[in-house]
Amino acid sequence: MTLLDVFTWIDHLWLGQAIRDSSWLFAFIEVFHLLGLTLLLGSIIVVNLRLLGFGSTRETLAHVAEDTMPWLWVGLLLTIPSGLCMFTAEALKCYENPPFFIKMGLLLLALIFTFTLHRRLTRADENSVSRIWRTLGACISLALWFGVGLAGRAIAFY
């Protein structure tokens, strides 16, 4: 079974067909996808600004990261299922779309980075991690997540 076979199978699922047949369902799902992306990127930006020494400096980095974590989860819980629904409606289009594969690769890297190294940076005592590592971590995180967003936007233009 090839990757094209998998994408073709997904493209023929009843959910994708229902979304394609509706004049408004794709746009409705996309609203939730964009809302989730906004919450996700908003929480990522707040934490990374704090990592860079800006923003809510009265609060510890660990406290800011802890406070934004529920918003990150809500963003993920809105973005991923809605993205999967949209994918079922245009799986074959995505198969022929390089920005889609770039987005998926960056998303995988961003999730791994966020829940491993980035999480260690935000939970560590600020004095135990050098400014260089905090800055590097914030820059990598921002680059990965904004790369996901930009690649996602590019899907529509390819």
Which stretches in the chain have pLDDT values below 70? Answer: none
State residue 100's pLDDT score. 97
Instruction: At 55, give phi and psi (nearest 5°).
Output: 80, -140
Q: Say which residues have a Cβ less than 8 Å from residue 102's Cβ, sequence separation at least 6.
A: 147, 151, 154
State residue 12's pLDDT score. 95
State residue 75's pLDDT score. 97
Kindly state the DSSP code that residue 115 receives in the 8-state scheme: I
- What's at 147, amino acid-wise? G
Nearest to 114 by CA among 45, 34, 36: 45
State residue 23's pLDDT score. 93
